[in-house]
Structure formats: C-alpha cells, structure tokens
Amino acid sequence: MKDLLKLKSSLVEEIENILNTQVKVEAHSSAIYLAMSAWCDDQGLDNASKFFAKQSDEEREHMLKIFNYISNRGGKPISPEVTNIPNDFESFRGVFEQALEQEMFVTEQFNNIADKCVKAKDYVTFNFLQWFLAEQVEEEFVIRRILELFDVIGEDGTGRWEIDKHLVKVVFDGE
C-alpha cells in the first residue's frame, strides 16, 4: 500500500502530456472563435457574432473539462499560453471555412489521443474522450451546413444578411 501512495498520477506521462497539449488546442480554438465573433460584430453580422461567441464559450468549457480531468486523475494540468490569434478575416465565408478547418484539426487531435490511449491501455481516458469525439461530429456538421448557405444564397447583395439570418436555424439532430 505504501508504494501506491507514492504514485502522483494514474495517468501515464505520455497521456498527461497529450491531454495538456489538447488543453492548449481548446484554449486556442476559444480565442480564435472570440476573434471571429468580434470580426462578425464589426461587420454587422449579429447572429454570426453570437454564434462564434457561443463557440468560444464551448471551447473554453472543453478546455476546462480536460484540465479538470487531468487534475482529477492526479496529473498536473498546465494553464496554456495562447498566441498568434488573427483579428482580421478576409471574408464572411472565409471565417466559416477557417472554423471548419479548426474543427477538423481538433477532430484529428482527439482521434490521435484516443489511438494513444488504446495503445497505452488507458481505457479510462479513452472512455472520457468519447464525449469529445461525439461532440466533434456535431461541430463539423453545423459548420458544413452553414457553409452550404453560402453556396445556396451567395454573398452578393443582401446575401450576407440572409446567411446571417438563417445560420441560427442550422441544428444537429444527432442521427
């Protein structure tokens, strides 16, 4: 029993490190979405601004969920430094294209973490990741559907306003 008490963490170092890396990825995503929200607000795209502000909050919640998981398993979570956040974007559509790229990157990261968990036989962390993997399906779906609005409506004339008006109607039904 004495040896068990000496164990600081039930996470192996590799898993703790990649989870801390993901904490930083989530913080970076939150900051990017906050910048996108500000840009959309500046462009008069109120619904898109609210959409990205909500996305920013969700990414911060994801960051904290992972941060707390590391701590709860006896690991040492690291508060991330976030740098290189763009504040200007080329177009309304470009904002959503960049958001989709970011979500696809996050999905890839979670898949890599899940793979490493299986290889390390850390099924507790693998189970913890299932929620995030399911969440990524929703995140990508919604942004893809919003991008389809650009194809259907177009940005010319009142198109930007129409897209901004309709993007709040895009929902994921989970099926």
Band the pLDDT of 9: cuts 50, 70, 90. Answer: low
CATH number of the domain residue 33 falls in: 1.20.1260.10
Range of the domain at 161: 10-169
5: in domain? no
Give residue-wise pLDDT tens across range 120-174. Answer: 999 999 999 999 999 999 999 999 999 999 999 998 889 999 999 988 888 766 6
Q: Which helix (H) or strand (E) holds 120?
A: none
67: in domain? yes
Instruction: Identify the pLDDT of residue 171.
Output: 75
73: in domain? yes
Residues 6+ apart with CB under 8 A from 135: 62
Give residue-wise pLDDT tens across range 78-114. Answer: 999 999 999 999 999 999 999 999 999 999 999 999 9
d(CA 94, CA 43): 13
Q: What is the mean pLDDT of residues 29-56?
A: 97
Could you tell me if 102 and 29 are in contact, meaning their C-beta atoms sit under 8 angstroms apart? yes
Domains contained in the chain, number: 1
pTM of the model: 0.91
Residue 50 vs residues 38, 47, 59, 168: alpha-carbon distances, Å: 9, 5, 14, 9
Instruction: Identify the pLDDT of residue 8.
Output: 64
Residue 3 pLDDT > 80:
no
Q: Is the dihedral of CA 51, 96, 144, 26 positive or negative?
A: negative
Could you tell me if 40 and 95 are in contact, meaning their C-beta atoms sit under 8 angstroms apart? yes
Residues 6+ apart with CB under 8 A from 59: 26, 27, 29, 30, 33
d(CA 102, CA 105): 5
Amino acid identity of residue 108, one-letter, is E
Instruction: Identify the pLDDT of residue 7.
Output: 56
Angle at 101 between CA 171 and CA 30, to 5 degrees: 75
2: in domain? no
Amino acid identity of residue 150, one-letter, is F
Q: What is the mean pLDDT of residues 69-82?
A: 94
Could you tell me if 128 and 69 are in contact, meaning their C-beta atoms sit under 8 angstroms apart? yes
144: in domain? yes
Could you tell me if 96 and 140 are in contact, meaning their C-beta atoms sit under 8 angstroms apart? no
Residue 6 pLDDT > 80:
no
- Name the least confident of 19-28, 61-70, 115-124, 157-166: 157-166
133: in domain? yes
